[in-house]
Structures are given as C-alpha cells and as structure tokens.
Amino acid sequence: MKKISIAIDGPAGAGKSTIAKALAKKLGCIYIDTGAMYRAVGLYCIQNGINYHNENDVSQIMQTLQVDIYSEDNQQFIYLNGKDVSLEIRTDEVAAAASKVATYKEVRAALVRQQRQMQSAKSVVMDGRDIGTVVMPDATLKIFLTASVSERAKRRFAEYQHKGIAVTLEKLTQEIIDRDNQDSSREISPLKKAEDAVEVDTSLLTIDEIVDKIMSFIIK
C-alpha cells in the first residue's frame, strides 16, 4: 500500500486515541500519539528542575529534546532523547505539566516539526486537536470525531470507575464543557474542524463501526 497519512482531531472524550490505535493496527500504520510527545516535554521539565510555568525557560530547552515513537507488537513506546519513558509519562503530575507546555508557541513548533518528519518517513495515523489544520494539512484523510457532551462524560465516568477513582458524573460533565471552551478558544492552534475533514459522530457507534466507517472513506 502506498504511504498514507490520516489526521484525527476532535474534543476530549470523543474517542480519538482509541480509534486512531485501532485504525493504525488495521492499516499497518504507525500510530502517533501527539499528546504523549507533550507529556515527554513535561516529564523532562520535572526531572530537570525546569519551571514549566515559565514559557521562556521551557522554550530554551526545545532544541535539545528529541521525542521518538516506535511501535512493536501493537504496543507504542515513547523515547525521550533515546530513553524509553513510556511509563514515566503516564502520571497526573506529568499530565499537568504537559497541559501547560502545550500552550507554548516554541514547544508546539518544535514538536510539529518532529511530527511532520514522522509523517514524511512512514504511513501514520495521528490524533490530536490541530492535526488536520496545522500538523498535517496535506493528510491523505482528515477525520473530525465528535460526540455529545453527555456521552463523553459517561465514557470518562466509566473509565474512572474502572480505575477506582471516585468522581461524580456532574463534575466530569462540567470539566468536559470547560475543556471544550479552553481548547476551542486558545490562541495557539485552537481546536477546530479542518474545512476538508469528514465529521464522524461517535455517540451511538461501537469502535468497530467507527473504524469501518473511516475505512470506507479511505477505500473511496
């Protein structure tokens, strides 16, 4: 199959990472978790005593960071300057740092360059909030996943219950509403649907149904 690139964007809880992983597996592509790349930057700041609330301090380190993503046996591995940090980046502390550094212009510019290098080297499925509009405007296919706020809150609630985390559905609903407002109104790379993206509402569909639907667009 010729080299392809698929961009999957959408709000929090729409199922982007789940669908992107399943789609990449079916196509034999590399799944690029852009969120993990920002987590790697956040982790570096924490481990090296860099104040991630200071944009200038974080911007100065970006030329020294290289984030790579590898897939093996349907598992993804995140490397930061040659070291496997796949597990280390999955903490709440790192997530908080990632959310902050992701708002910085130099951080986004550096990681976008690396993401585009990945796209040019291999077939990829990449998910995020600005993939089709900023990172891969020339993607073979652009998908914008959506789901109702109530459905996304229910999914997050079920996920938290599975992990044994006590939280109310009402609180999660408000958090999703707030996150939507934050993502769509931020100055740098706001969440928005690319003009040539195909919108897919995941509210009433299973994972397999969503993947099959996207596959039908690729086959066309």
Q: Is pLDDT of 34 > 80?
A: yes
Q: Is pLDDT of 220 > 70?
A: no
- What would the pLDDT profile of 45-84 be if each residue is shown by its tens digit? 999 999 999 999 999 999 899 998 887 766 788 999 999 9
| 67-84: b (≥16 Cβ within 10 Å) or e | bbbebeeeebebebeeee
pTM comes to 0.84
Q: Is pLDDT of 207 > 70?
A: yes
**One CATH from 3.40.1350.10, 3.50.50.60, 3.40.50.300, 3.20.20.30 for 5-214:** 3.40.50.300
Contacts of 2 (CB under 8 A, 6+ apart): none
Residue range 89-117: average pLDDT? 91
CA dist 179 to 10, 19, 50, 111, 190, Å?
12, 20, 26, 22, 12
